[in-house]
Amino acid sequence: MKISYRKLLGILLFMVSETLSAQLPPVFANDGIRGRSTALKQTFLTPTRIVSVFDNHSSKQVLNAESILKPGIGQADLNSGTYLTLISDKESKPGIILDFGREIQGGIELVTTINNSNPAGKVRIRLGESVSETLSNISKDGATNDHAMRDFIVVLPWLGRLEIGNSGFRFASIQIVDPDTKVEFKEVSAIFTYRDIPYLGSFSCNDELLNKIWMTGAYTVHLNMQDYLWDGIKRDRLVWIGDMHPEVMTIISVFGNIGIVPKSLDLVRDITPLPNWMNGISSYSMWWILIHRDWYHYQGNLDYLKQQKVYLCALLRLLATKIDPNGKEILDGTRFLDWPSNANIEAIHAGLQSMMVLTFQAGEELCKILGDPETAEICLKSSGKLKRHIPGMAESKQAAALLSLAGLVTAENANTKILARDSVHKMSTFYGYYMLKARAKAGDYQGAIDNIRQYWGGMLDLGATTFWEDFDINWLKNGARIDEIVPEGKIDVHSSYGGYCYKSLRHSLCHGWSSGPTSWLSENVLGVKVIVPGCKVICIEPHLGDLLWVKGTFPTPFGVVKIEHKKMADGTVKTSFVAPKEVKILTK
């Protein structure tokens, strides 16, 4: 079997980045000590601005604040200089709030000077996704130390360096704890922990807002690509398999074949013996199947798909027992679509009914590829049986989107009656992706583009640099930006809103399930539709709506496809592209 140089190089790079074991120094060779490797990199970031200082004595308790904005080297020394100094007294404890420019995953590095006591003293550090979170107290307004410690008191060394913290944040407050204490800081840096991987996919057009939204979705998922694929970097630092589907579609569009996806899929499979549901949620086991179908569709890795055969077929057979004689789903476990639809029992049923159809359609396809005609036939009969029961749309955009995608209602009907109504009201961050897909299926590309501008653009209007766990367009009314101390008369968006498990400041402002516009824009506006698994055949079918031009790239197992579209004076679109020789391009 011949293998191209490009493909061989890709395999070697994958092996180096994903399977390299921890390399210990030679002195460990005979000690039987084992290490755990990581694909993560650390970079130390300098604060971009000072948000505020706490100084009750007119600049006598916080001295030389601007010095902390100078890039540091992470090394204490014996020199004296002009450094940030915090001085407390019996009545007041000064502090400072720093902004690192955008949301990151990581911690804080503090370097002290020779002018300190030994030890230098105690400081309280509060990391925040918003400025208001850095001013919070644990257990008040939802502020927590649960999945990640973000509020702690530490003792600083006299002359040295301390690294502490592992959370999602953009802002950090540092405040003296004890009275009559003086602490001098040479440097304060954020420790940014991330995967050092290229953005192979790209998207740009004549609308800068859409460009920013595409990149923000990509960056949101990038931050959650830690040792496993998380859902949130402050809270929900777990592998939630249903939440992964929009994340995986973003990874496919931006980063291509990254080993964190199969690693996370396999983790959840291995810790969920049947007949249990993944994460305790029946729909999440179905999302596992749908992710595998999409991952194979874009990557074409048959060997990896074969590793799923035993579990996949058994799961499909289990799901086939969850249909009553009338074709209605009777799924047990936690019945869940997304949080905003959680109180609408009819919508949940409609969504689960639709997901069962979508899952059995995907299962039939995968079982045929895997050479299991018996389970493929079970899938075919199950989807046919389910189509005999068609629930109503329950006034729910989540339900309408899934019913449309499953073909249980016409896309045009779902769009006209539910999805196109009320602008972006009743949209959601997670299922917003499927609402966009359903609008595209109905041919309403302009409506979907407008939704992206208004809904995801609304988060950017409030200062977001990553997309949130939840968002309601009504939060824009008199809402303060998250990157400022809340002005008098304005609403603190972070502490005032959020529900269910993400009330107030517990609300995650970096959640990968909200990245849907990134992959949607690549598929529908840039127009990349994979026809043959492994991107062997791609159809380029752009829908520019009111855009004048769009260009970008899309990663395939054979290399990057470069695409450009330009709207002509007569309204037609001129398309040009460059693709690897292994990829056949069709155009529409």
Q: Summarize pLDDT for 523-557 with one digit per residue, the tens.
A: 999 999 999 999 999 999 999 999 999 999 999 99
Q: Which candidate, 518, 512, 517, 519, places its Cα nearest to that of 239?
A: 512
Give backbone dihedrals phi and psi of 469, rounded to 5 degrees, phi first.
-60, -40
pLDDT over threshold 80, residue 5: no
Asked if 292 and 312 touch (Cβ cutoff 8 Å), the reply is yes
Whole-angstrom distance, CA of residue 335 vs CA of residue 346: 11
Query: In the 3-class helix/strand/coil scheme, how is 180-246 assigned residue by residue?
Result: CCEEEEEEEEEEEEEECCCCCCEEEECCHHHHHHHHHHHHHHHHHECCCECCECCCCCCCCCCCHHH
Whole-angstrom distance, CA of residue 557 vs CA of residue 304: 14
Give pLDDT, residue 477: 98
Give backbone dihedrals phi and psi of 214, rounded to 5 degrees, phi first.
-55, -50
SS3 content of the chain, % helix, strand, coil (to 5): 35, 20, 40
Q: Give me the mean pLDDT over the 461-488 stretch.
A: 98
With tokens 């991330």, the residue in question is: 194
Mean per-residue pLDDT of the chain: 95
517: cis peptide before it, omega within 30°? Answer: no
Give pLDDT, residue 149: 93
25-29, 145-149, 150-154, 496-500, range with the lowest pLDDT: 25-29
pLDDT over threshold 80, residue 29: no
pLDDT over threshold 70, residue 309: yes
Q: What is the DSSP string of 288-330?
A: HHHHHHHHHHHH--HHHHHTTHHHHHHHHHHHHTSB-TTS-B-
Give pLDDT, residue 353: 98
Give pLDDT, residue 22: 57
Which tokens go with 317? 């057979």
> Helix (H, G, I), strand (E, B), or coil: what is residue 401?
helix
Asked if 356 and 286 touch (Cβ cutoff 8 Å), the reply is yes
Name the DSSP letter for residue 173.
E
Domains and CATH numbers, the chain: 5-41 (no CATH), 42-195 (2.60.120.260)
Give 172-196 pLDDT, tens digit per residue.
Answer: 999 999 999 999 999 999 999 999 9
Q: Give me the mean pLDDT over the 368-375 stretch.
A: 98
Whole-angstrom distance, CA of residue 62 vs CA of residue 173: 13
Q: Give me the mean pLDDT over the 387-405 stretch.
A: 98
Whole-angstrom distance, CA of residue 426 vs CA of residue 435: 11
